[in-house]
Structure 1
Amino acid sequence: MVGASDSHPDIHWPAGFSPDQAHGFCRAQAVVHAPPSTAFALLTDVARWPEWVPGVTEARTGAVAGAFAVRFHDHPFEICLGEHVPHSRLGWSGIGSGVQLYQAWLLTPVADGTLVVTENVVRGPVARSIDALAPVWTERLNVLWLAQLRRRLGKADGGA
């Protein structure tokens, strides 16, 4: 099973959301042909997620700074920003029916643009059920996020 030893050492996990406590965990990375500031701006422009994030059909900011709501594959999620270090790291936690998640992002400048690392921890009865049926589902989600991010920002060498 994938666990904490597979996590990037610079990811900051909130209490209760380490990979060892997950029902689903994955890590993916890619190089995008854009500076970290551009990648960061795209990731934090929540209102535009439906234009490029796979499965997101609605996104709106909340009344409280750092809170937003998304509709992902027709399921509503309330999201709270957990970490926000401009141009280098992001993290948010989400709650939906039967599932809790934390998604972390690291952005590191490299010669051809930005190395983007994303990791997800997913917990709850829905995550446990899906993981039993399709164990690679969390990996596919992160790979899709990165593929779309690369398309939006231009390709560079790298992979999931």
Structure 2
Amino acid sequence: MPDASDSHRDIHWPSGFSPAQAHSFCQAEAVVHAPPATAFALLADVPGWPGWVPGITEARPGPLARTYEVLFHGQRFEVFVGEQVTPRRLGWSGVGAGVQVYQAWLLTAVGGGTHAVVANVVRGPAAKSLAVLFPEWEQHLNTLWMARLKRLSESAPDGGDGSMRAVGGSPC
């Protein structure tokens, strides 16, 4: 079971998706040398995810506002953007075959850029199986996602250079 004490205190977890209720939980953070609005614009552009998010090959608008259909490693997910406070907070939930996920992003202005935090809670039989077969799967994806967000944000006209590290959670 993940250690809920590793969760960032400013993340708003929806009912049923706290780290204490997860089958997998992990968190990563980085300093992105670009303004929060630059990183936020990349994260909030769900149809643009296939161009830079690891494993996502398709993302298109769903039938309702703030919903999307996303193909992640060939698996279909229904995604709902639940929390969006421009340019500081973004949270979305996704439901796929045997898995439910909630991913939260916090973007805080700091000297020279943005402190970015991403945290995931994953539930369901698929999450349990992956945790047994490849315990570091989620942390690996978080690290790749964060590295690409950094690279794209920092290569934007208002970007720069920065550093990244993974933190907290169980080995997920």
TM-score by structure 1 length? Answer: 0.96
**Residues 2 and 22, structure 2, Cα contact 8 Å, conserved in 1:** no
Which letter does structure 1 place at the counterpart of 2:127? Answer: A
Aligned to 1:157: 163
Find the counterpart in structure 2 of residue 111 from structure 1.
111
| Cα displacement (A) at 1:63 | 2.7
Give the deviation of 1:159 after TM superposition: 2.6
Is 1:37 the counterpart of 2:43? The answer is no
In 1, Cα distance between equivalents of 2:33 and 2:13: 27
For residues 79-110 of structure 1, the C-alpha deviation after alignment (integer angstroms, 9 at most, x for no partner) is 01111111000100100000000000000001
Residue 145 (str. 1) matches residue 151 (str. 2): no
- Write the mapping of 1:7-86 to structure 2, written as runs, cut at 5 A: 7-86=7-86
| Whole-angstrom CA distance in 2 between matches of 1:20 and 1:3 | 7
Q: Structure 2 stretches of 5 or more lacking a match? A: 155-160, 167-172
Determine the C-alpha separation between the residues in 2 that align with 1:51 and 1:82. Answer: 22
Aligned residues: 160
Partners of 2:24 and 2:58 lie apart in 1 by 24
Deviation (angstroms), 1:153: 1.4
Q: What's the RMSD between the two structures over aligned residues?
A: 1.0
Counterparts of 1:84 and 1:123 in 2: how far apart (Å)? 22
Q: Which aligned segments of 4 or more residues in structure 1 are displaced greater than 6 angstroms?
A: none
Alpha-carbon distance in 2 for matches of 1:151, 1:41: 14
The one-letter code matched in structure 2 to 1:109 is: A
Deviations 1:54-92 (A, max 9, x none): 000000112311111110001010001111111000100
Using the aligned pairs only, state the percent identity: 60
Q: Partner amino acid for 2:87?
A: H
Question: For residues 91 and 108 of structure 1, what CA distance do their matches in structure 2 show?
Answer: 15
